[in-house]
Amino acid sequence: MRILGGISRKKHAMYFLLFTVASFVFSSLAYYIPFGYGIRLSLTSYDAISKPIFIGFDNFKELFQDPVFWVSTKNSFIYALYVVPTIVILSFLIATGLNKETRLIMFLRVLYFLPMVTSSIAVSLVWKWIFHRDYGILNRIMEFFHLPRQDWLGDPKLALLSVAIVGIWGGLSYNIILFLAGLQNIPKTYYEAAMIDGATKKDMLFYITVPLMSPITFFVLVTTTIWSVQVFDTVFIMTSGGPGYATYTLVYYIYRNGFFWFRMGYGMAIAWVLYGFLLILTIIQFALQRKWVYYE
Amino acid sequence: MARFRFFLIVSLVVAVFSLSFGVTTIRYGVWMVEQMDGIKAQIAAFEKEHPDIKVKLEVVPWENYWTKLQTMLAGGNCWDVFAMDTGFYMEDYVIRGAVLDLTPYIERDHIDLSVYPKMVLAIHRFNGRYYSLPRDYDTIALYYNKDAFDKAGLKYPDESWTWTDVIYAAEKLTIRDKKGNVVQWGIVSDPGLEAVQQVVFPMMYSNGVEIIGKDGHMNIDVPQAVAVLRSIRDITKHGYAPKPLPNIQDYFISGKAAMMLEGSWMLGYYDKNIKSFKWGVAPFPPFGVRATISDSLGNVIWAKSKHKEAAWTFVKWLAGKEAAEILAKTGAVIPAYKGTADMWVKGFPKEHQKDAEVFIKSVAFTNPWPRALGESKWFDRLTSYYLFEIVSGRLDVEKGLKMATEEINRIIDQTKKRYSK
């Protein structure tokens, strides 16, 4: 409210309306209305062409007996397990490395940020070639080190991991920026004081940087979890859910149902269950944060 | 100045109106990127004959065509006319009322249906009604790399070949480097032999499997079907054919495969693009009796199109002789119209005319694409899961086919129940 300090009550109300109404209209159109419409459709059999037929909770009943739904759930969460801890730890470490003001580091920051501004479709296409069984550069490298060639995207044991590698690569940059901003907010005086008291570099990392960064870490953890459980584009381009079910994720399964199999209602039901999963997961994370997140 | 501006606006308005007055624009959606020359030539010829109708062509590649189509239908803003893979997907759109029943138009305009081969016309008939007219058809045969056969000292495949000859040749033609990596595959499809249209279904027909029975259910858990899949899996296991890949890969065009089971739709493309080796075509090698498979495309009209008459004029023209002749000359696909298949053959250089004839002669023993309700879903499940896993050797043949049959029949029943009203 400091920004609006010194202006009249009337003007204040006007700004309030202007900003809130505008954002409400846009978020309604893009979010709340489809959200509500989705609830309604999840209770119907809807093929997106003819009229929806109300079927009550049949979609949800079917869903809990649907093996592909459970495989997709499992894959989504295994993917998150691959991606989330790796991203949190790696982007934290890289950000610490980049927290200097030399020319080289500034240049490196740009490089690290590049994946963020690259189209994920283009990225997935390039990675598809890197992973290619016959012509991929990764298998050439494996051969160079006398390691056996792998069918990265065609082997069900490896496919999800390969997709996760791309997810990690693509997800790092945004989180590095977040951590970097957090690091630059830590006053230098803390480190100076610690140095005078004879603290080592390791002590400073664990007793100053990590606790002061915990709110950012928490934010990164929550957003990365949600983002990774919702993985879609890399799966869509690189494996189409294959081989077999090996890379079917929840969002990909929703897409498959809604836009391939004429089962929009069923897709909506899965979307709602996914929403429930993420809500529970986030609540748990918020409950646990009291134990480790330190607010100044 | 104001007056000048007024004049400018009026003359602009008049110009725009006079241009658009009496001209109907219809949107035409297709996926056949490899046939663009022919499609554009067709549209140009049609617009010349019908100056009152303009056709706006919109191309979306096959991988995204069906999702785009479904999204557009859902949004209520679709192409007036669009290409339909009649064998594969038409029924899914017919039962949902997304495409216009053309039967009344056909009767009104006295369209002669006898100009299309009977087998091809059958693909376009649903419970006695027509929603599309035949545009083209295809058959499957065996492409082979003559250079690879010469090097191995083998005789070229011909109509006497059976599946046993193929396996024998595939073994001899598979070449590995010192590390054991395959340099040349014995036989491929796109790229593995799990390809439904080019390998699995025609072989099942050849072995006497009635893929979709009279009751509309799938029957691919029978011993004859198991035998076919066992053979395909064994060839793959021995490494004569590549394992299934999630993405399409053409080993034949790059000279990395000696034989390929492929459709007639690739003939024109190979004729133009293969320069580094000599090649030929032999009939589909029988596993039991002689057989192959055919699908046919047609053009359909969106049920909610605002320009149904203009759309029908276009669809009617596309199914006519002139349109077929244009298609024949570009060599991409075999047009369905009587007599134009010959033009298609003659359009190829001498050395490949005999190869083109192989596809035409295959019509004598071909089978229509097996059609059943819910194909958008079950075809996807059959290809991307069951056949993929069986041929990769991760799913037992007998068990896999039984599971596939059960799931597919469940999908068929669900769809039937949902749309019976």
**A2 and A137 together in one domain:** no
The residues, ordered by sequence, that sit 6+ positions from B333 with a Cβ below 8 Å of its Cβ are B32, B35, B135, B136, B137, B138, B264, B265, B268, B297, B327, B344
Say if CB B97 and CB B303 are below 8 A apart.
yes
**What is the chain A residue with the closest CA to B302?**
A49
Phi, psi dihedral angles at B396 (to 5 degrees)? -60, 140
For B176, other C-beta atoms within 10 Å of its C-beta total 11
Nearest-CA distance B293 → chain A (Å): 24
Q: Does the N-terminal peptide bond of residue A52 adopt cis geometry, omega within 30 degrees of 0?
A: no
**How much of chain B exceeds pLDDT 90, in percent?**
67
pLDDT in tens, A81-106: 999 999 999 999 999 888 888 888 88
How far, in Å, CA of A72 to CA of B227, rounded?
Answer: 32
Does residue B110 sit in helix, strand or coil? coil
Scan residues 357-376 of B and list those with Cβ closer than 8 Å to A. 376
Mean pLDDT of the region A75-79:
95
The better pLDDT of the pair A1, A29 is held by A29
> Does residue A50 sit within a domain?
no
> Does residue A51 sit within a domain?
no
Mean pLDDT of the region B110-120:
89
- First and final C-alpha spacing in chain B: 67
* All CATH 3.40.190.10 domain ranges in chain B, comma separated: 23-138+296-338, 140-294+369-418
Interface probe, candidates A41, A47, A239, chain B, greatest B C-beta count within 10 A: A47
Helix runs in B211-264, H state only = 223-237
How far, in Å, CA of B60 to CA of A6, rounded?
Answer: 58
- Residue B168: exposure state from Cβ atoms within 10 A (0-12, 13-18, ≥19): middle
**A10 and A153 together in one domain:** no
With beta carbons under 8 A apart, name residues in chain B contacting A244. 384-385, 388-389, 394
pLDDT in tens, A173-228: 999 999 999 998 888 888 888 888 888 888 888 888 888 888 999 999 999 999 99
How far, in Å, CA of A141 to CA of A44, rounded?
Answer: 51
pLDDT in tens, A250-261: 999 999 998 888
What value does the mean pLDDT of chain B take?
Answer: 90
**A247 and A136 together in one domain:** yes
Question: Is the model's pLDDT at A230 over the cut of 70?
Answer: yes
Interface probe, candidates A261, A263, A264, chain B, greatest B C-beta count within 10 A: A261
Cβ–Cβ below 8 Å for A48 and B243: no
Query: What pLDDT is recorded for position A207?
Result: 86
For A123, other C-beta atoms within 10 Å of its C-beta total 18
Say if CB A93 and CB A77 are below 8 A apart.
no
Query: What pLDDT is recorded for position A254?
Result: 93
- Say if strands B133-134 and B297-301 run parallel, antiparallel, or are unpaired: antiparallel
Cβ–Cβ below 8 Å for B376 and A260: yes
How far, in Å, CA of A215 to CA of A197, rounded?
Answer: 26
**A29 and A91 together in one domain:** no
CA angle B22, B25, B26 (to 5 degrees): 140
Cβ–Cβ below 8 Å for A49 and B385: no
With beta carbons under 8 A apart, name residues in chain B contacting A143. 179
Question: Is the model's pLDDT at B73 over the cut of 80?
Answer: yes
Scan residues 162-221 of A and list those with Cβ closer than 8 Å to B. none
**A21 and A143 together in one domain:** no
Residue A245 structural domain: 58-292
**A83 and A230 together in one domain:** yes
**Residue A263 belongs to a domain with what CATH number?**
1.10.3720.10
Residues B224-235 as b/e (b if ≥16 CB within 10 A, e otherwise) read bbbbbbebbbeb
**A145 and A216 together in one domain:** yes
> Does residue A256 sit within a domain?
yes
How far, in Å, CA of A45 to CA of A43, rounded?
Answer: 7
How far, in Å, CA of A211 to CA of A204, rounded?
Answer: 10
Question: Is the model's pLDDT at A13 over the cut of 70?
Answer: yes
Interface probe, candidates B178, B389, B403, chain A, greatest A C-beta count within 10 A: B389
Query: What pLDDT is recorded for position B315?
Result: 94
Q: Is A33 on the interface with B (CB under 8 A)?
A: no
**What is the chain B residue with the closest CA to A243?**
B246
Mean pLDDT of the region B308-329:
92
Question: Is the model's pLDDT at B189 over the cut of 60?
Answer: yes
**A149 and A245 together in one domain:** yes
Half-sphere exposure of A175 (CA within 13 A, CB side): 31
Residue A1 — very low, low, confident or very high, per pLDDT cuts 50/70/90?
very low
**A28 and A82 together in one domain:** no
Number of domains in chain A: 2
With beta carbons under 8 A apart, name residues in chain A contacting B66. 260
Does residue B57 sit in helix, strand or coil? strand
Cβ–Cβ below 8 Å for B380 and A45: no
| Domain B140-294+369-418 top-level CATH class | alpha beta
Cβ–Cβ below 8 Å for B96 and A243: no
Cβ–Cβ below 8 Å for A49 and B245: no
Tokens read off for A244: 């077999």
Q: Is A242 on the interface with B (CB under 8 A)?
A: yes
Nearest-CA distance A296 → chain B (Å): 50
The residues, ordered by sequence, that sit 6+ positions from B145 with a Cβ below 8 Å of its Cβ are B252, B255, B257, B258, B259, B277, B278, B279
**What is the chain B residue with the closest CA to A152?**
B245
Nearest neighbour of B385 by CB, restricted to A239, A245, A263: A245
- Residue B242: exposure state from Cβ atoms within 10 A (0-12, 13-18, ≥19): buried
Say if CB B55 and CB B28 are below 8 A apart.
yes
Cβ–Cβ below 8 Å for B246 and A243: yes
The residues, ordered by sequence, that sit 6+ positions from B370 with a Cβ below 8 Å of its Cβ are B201, B211, B212
Does residue B252 sit in helix, strand or coil? coil
How far, in Å, CA of B96 to CA of B90, rounded?
Answer: 10
Cβ–Cβ below 8 Å for B244 and A133: no
Residue A119: DSSP 8-state: -
Distance of CA A276 to the CA centre of its chain: 17
Q: Is A233 on the interface with B (CB under 8 A)?
A: no
With beta carbons under 8 A apart, name residues in chain B contacting A266. none
The better pLDDT of the pair B1, B370 is held by B370
Say if CB A131 and CB A125 are below 8 A apart.
no
Give DSSP secondary structure letters for A50-84.
S--EE-TTHHHHHHHT-HHHHHHHHHHHHHHHHHH
Nearest-CA distance B254 → chain A (Å): 13
> Does residue A53 sit within a domain?
no
> Does residue A67 sit within a domain?
yes
Cβ–Cβ below 8 Å for A262 and B92: yes
Give DSSP secondary structure letters for B302-350.
BTT-S-HHHHHHHHHHHTSHHHHHHHHHHTSSEE-STTHHHHHHHTS-H
Residue B207: DSSP 8-state: T
With beta carbons under 8 A apart, name residues in chain B contacting A243. 244, 246, 388-389, 392
How far, in Å, CA of B409 to CA of B421, rounded?
Answer: 19
pLDDT in tens, B375-398: 888 998 898 889 999 999 989 999
**What is the chain A residue with the closest CA to B99?**
A49
Say if CB B325 and CB B335 are below 8 A apart.
yes
Phi, psi dihedral angles at A105 (to 5 degrees)? -65, -40
For domain B23-138+296-338, the CATH superfamily is Periplasmic binding protein-like II (3.40.190.10)
Q: Is B412 on the interface with A (CB under 8 A)?
A: no
Does residue B24 sit in helix, strand or coil? strand
pLDDT in tens, B142-186: 999 999 999 999 999 999 999 999 999 999 999 998 888 889 999
> Does residue A22 sit within a domain?
yes
Q: Is B183 on the interface with A (CB under 8 A)?
A: no
Query: What pLDDT is recorded for position B13?
Result: 60
Question: Is the model's pLDDT at B349 over the cut of 50?
Answer: yes
Helix runs in B33-152, H state only = 36-49, 62-75, 86-94, 103-108, 118-123, 146-152
Residue A146 — very low, low, confident or very high, per pLDDT cuts 50/70/90?
confident
Query: What pLDDT is recorded for position A112?
Result: 86
Distance of CA B203 to the CA centre of its chain: 17
Q: Is B168 on the interface with A (CB under 8 A)?
A: no
Scan residues 47-106 of A and list those with Cβ closer than 8 Å to B. 47-50, 53
Q: Strand locations in B211-275, DSSP E? A: 257-263
Residue B35: DSSP 8-state: G
